[in-house]
Amino acid sequence: MDQLRALRYFSKVVETGSFTRAAEAFSVPPSSLSRRIADLEKSLGANLLKRSTRVVQVTEIGQVYYRQVQGILFQLEQSDETVRSYQANPTGQLRISSLAGFGERLLLPLLNEFKVLYPDIILDVNLSDELSTLGSDDVDVAIRGGYAPNEWVQAVRLMNNEFIPVAAPEYLKKMGTPKNAFELRQHKGLYFRTPAGPNPWLCEIEGEWHDVSAPAVAVSNSSKWLGEQAVAGLGIMMAPRWSLADYLDSGELEQLFFDPALSVSQNPDMAIYLLYQKQRYLVPKVKAVVDFLVARIKNV
């Protein structure tokens, strides 16, 4: 029995909820699926599906099996791709996920260059601050703040992600420049909302962490819009240094200095990481984009 074929049939039936629709996907008659899945059930000694002529239900054990089989089929596909693309030119679809702000400002311009170097790679870029589940599916490389989630994932530190406090000169003229961290609480705050909630303003004084956040006048997950609010003099904002270069150069925003410095997390190792599955580095398209991004971003 070709179990792999049976597993693919079974998976598709679970997904479509129908033998006929699943059969269309494989361009074979439904009778083939019926036979193969029946064989599979016989060899496992359990019913995976509860059939009637109108609906197909997945049994409890069928659902368990389906979830595990999904992972197995996915892994096999990836392994096959690794071998197939071995010592070939970088080709195919490459799915990249990135932090939204970083993506807009730094990644997309770089990818335009990348596209010229590797015209056979079809890019699929997803900008979002949500954590994509690297490894289980859907993404070849991801750019994230934070740290490696597990041992299968390689994390390359691309650059610092130091958050610095800034405000418009007019705002500081009007409200005064805060001399120490605790004065911030008398100011107005513009906050970046991460999936984990708005970023607080933290300060470590004598080994103890203090939240010195000012009352919020605006919270958003759009760093572009927040920047405009800050330029308009609505309040103080903490944002990654790399996202503020234009504003600081033009003088539209000024950096505020505190001693000790402010941060948005107790973790000192905040940085931008490039994540990919170790074993997938053998796939030329993955190797190409990793090498390219590391060379262009890290070594500056």
Name the amino acid, one letter, at 106: L
Q: Which of 25, 38, 175, 219 binds DNA (CB under 7 A)?
A: 38
Rounded least distance, CB 75 to its own copies, Å: 5
Closest CA to 147 of 263, 42, 248, 269: 269
Map residue 24 onto helix, strand or coil.
helix
Sign of torsion over alpha carbons 86, 150, 202, 213: positive
Asked if 277 touches its own copies (CB under 8 A), the answer is: no
Tokens of 19: 């033998």
Residue 69 interacting entry, from its own copies, DNA, none, C-beta within 5 to 8 Å by type: its own copies
Footprint (CB under 8 A) of its own copies, residues 214-273: none
Residues 139-178: x where in contact with its own copies by CB under 8 A, - otherwise, as a string: -----------xx---------------------------
Among the candidate windows 49-57, 70-78, 233-241, 258-266, which touches DNA by CB under 7 A? 49-57
Per DSSP (E only), the strands in the chain are 49-51, 56-58, 92-98, 121-127, 141-145, 153-160, 163-167, 189-194, 197-198, 202-205, 208-211, 216-220, 236-240, 254-255, 262-263, 271-277
Q: Which of 4, 117, 125, 205 binds its own copies (CB under 8 A)?
A: 4
Footprint (CB under 7 A) of DNA, residues 54-73: 54-56
Sites of contact with DNA (CB under 7 A): 1-2, 5-6, 18-20, 27-39, 49, 51-56
